[in-house]
Amino acid sequence: MQVLVTGGAGFIGSAVVRHILADTDASVINVDALTYAGNLESIPDTEASARYAFAQVDICDFAALSAVFAEHQPDLVMHLAAESHVDRSIDGPGAFIQTNVVGTYNLLEAARAYWQGLDVDKKATFRFHHISTDEVYGDLHGTDDLFTETTSYEPSSPYSASKAGSDHLVRAWGRTFGLPIVVTNCSNNYGPYHFPEKLVPHIILNALHGKPLPVYGDGSQIRDWLYVEDHARALFKVVTEGKLGETYNIGGHNEKRNIEVVHTICDLLEELAPENENSLASGKGFKDLITFVKDRPGHDARYAIDASKIQRELGWVPQETFESGIRKTVQWYLDNPEWWQRVLSGDYKLDRIGDKGVV
């Protein structure tokens, strides 16, 4: 089975690629433009690399996408390529509209042309899986309500609005053209190989370097955290076993205030990196680095996912609690400085088109 993964050099996409190569017999063609967020060093070479190929292609380039479909003849498409950082979408929304909306449209059209030309058997099992976010639902203000698959869309940021647009396009291509689609909407992910602009790695790395730990507003915003490898398992389950035309919400049942997340990371670093010059053992303490900064415009108060449908219908449950997953994550950053040092220095961009089978 050949799986075309877009955005496979990103945080979640690379976890999906690693999962497919390590835990299934499927092959992967990774289609990624390698923006600042793409890093091929997140896909280490393994014995399974013979089942892996990479194509540096922008999903806005219809001709290049069509050539990838023709050459690699995928059975499944998992679409993760996106501009994904809310703060960047506020500073420059254009790239988000281009990649998330126009790029998704291009991919749908390339996939549709390819799917229509398939033989009967392959056509019957082909799937287009669109990976999206719970941010399309807007925010929750009560403490008990949860996002379900039927919650109406009320996106707040240019990022979530562009993802909402792409979700609607995918469902329309399913309804109007019969393209076999599934959609997932997931809560906040964290884990290994996360680009340091996002909250969890940013806090870990700033703390290790004795830099301020910025927290928006009073840090009371609530996010529902999911370990990225649990998400990758859920995604592969949905693309292979999910019901056509359906949406599945994916979440970790781990609601935490941002300030709690920052405190937990500081506590773990005190335990796991006591020799660091900013730890309590050195007479300082990581928590003293916490700095409250002006809140993000339009900042959503609370996200929380009802993941009962995917649990009930596909038998997926997360393997990590927040406590176990965040411990693994902090330990991973302590054990893998060569990965994040090359990201922080920008060197990850130098030789990333190496020997990974570029077409």
List contacts with ligand NAD (CB under 6 A).
6-7, 9-13, 32-35, 37-38, 58-60, 80-84, 99, 103, 131-133, 163, 186, 188-189, 195
* Contact in structure between 28 and 5 (CB atoms under 8 Å): yes
Catalytic residue list contains 134: yes
Which candidate in 159, 248, 303, 333 is catalytic? Answer: 159
Among candidate residues 32, 58, 75, 134, the one labeled active-site is: 134
Q: Which is nearer to ligand NAD, 232 or 289 (CB)?
A: 232
Which one, 102 or 113, has the nearer CB to ligand NAD?
Answer: 102
Q: In residues, how long is the chain?
A: 359
> Smallest gap, in angstroms, from Cβ of residue 184 to ligand NAD?
8
Q: Is 220 exposed, middle or buried (0-12, 13-18, 19+ CB in 10 A)?
A: middle
Q: How many CB atoms lie within 10 A of CB 319?
A: 11
Q: Catalytic annotation on 216?
A: no
Rank residues 58 and 270 by Cβ distance to ligand NAD and give the closer one.
58
Q: Which amino acid is at 149?
A: E
- Cβ 102 to ligand NAD, closest distance in Å? 9
Angle between helix axes 158-177 and 104-116 (nearest 10 degrees) is 20
- The catalytic position among 41, 135, 139, 270 is 135
CB of 123 to ligand NAD, least distance (A): 25
The three-class DSSP label of residue 355 is coil
Distance CA 137, CA 156 (A): 9
Angle between helices 322-335 and 258-272 (to 10 degrees): 50
Q: Would you call 121 exposed, middle or buried from its count of C-beta atoms within 10 A (0-12, 13-18, 19+)?
A: exposed
Q: For ligand NAD, which residue has the nearest CB? A: 10
DSSP line for 43-54: S---GGGGGEEE
Nearest approach, Cβ of residue 152 and ligand NAD (Å)? 18
Kindly state the DSSP code that residue 328 receives in the 8-state scheme. H
Let me know if 135 is a catalytic residue: yes
Strands of 27-32's sheet in order across: 52-56, 27-32, 2-6, 76-79, 127-133, 181-186, 247-250
What distances in angstroms separate CA 189 from CA 96, 223, 251, one per listed residue? 19, 10, 9
Shortest distance, position 237 Cβ to ligand NAD, whole Å: 16
In the complex, minimum distance from the CB of residue 285 to ligand NAD, in angstroms, rounded to a whole number: 29
Closest CB to ligand NAD among 106 and 278?
106
CB of 309 to ligand NAD, least distance (A): 16
CB of 188 or CB of 258, closer to ligand NAD: 188
Nearer CB in complex with ligand NAD: 58/75: 58
In this structure, the dihedral spanned by the alpha carbons of residues 148, 149, 154 and 160, taken in order and rounded to 10 degrees, is 110
Four-residue CA torsion sign, 140, 142, 144, 145: negative
CB nearer ligand NAD, residue 80 or residue 169: 80
What b/e string do you get for 153-167 counting C-beta neighbours within 10 Å, with b at 16 or more? eebbbbbbbbbbbbb
Q: How far apart are CA 283 and CA 267, in angstroms?
A: 15
Catalytic residue ranges = 134-135, 159
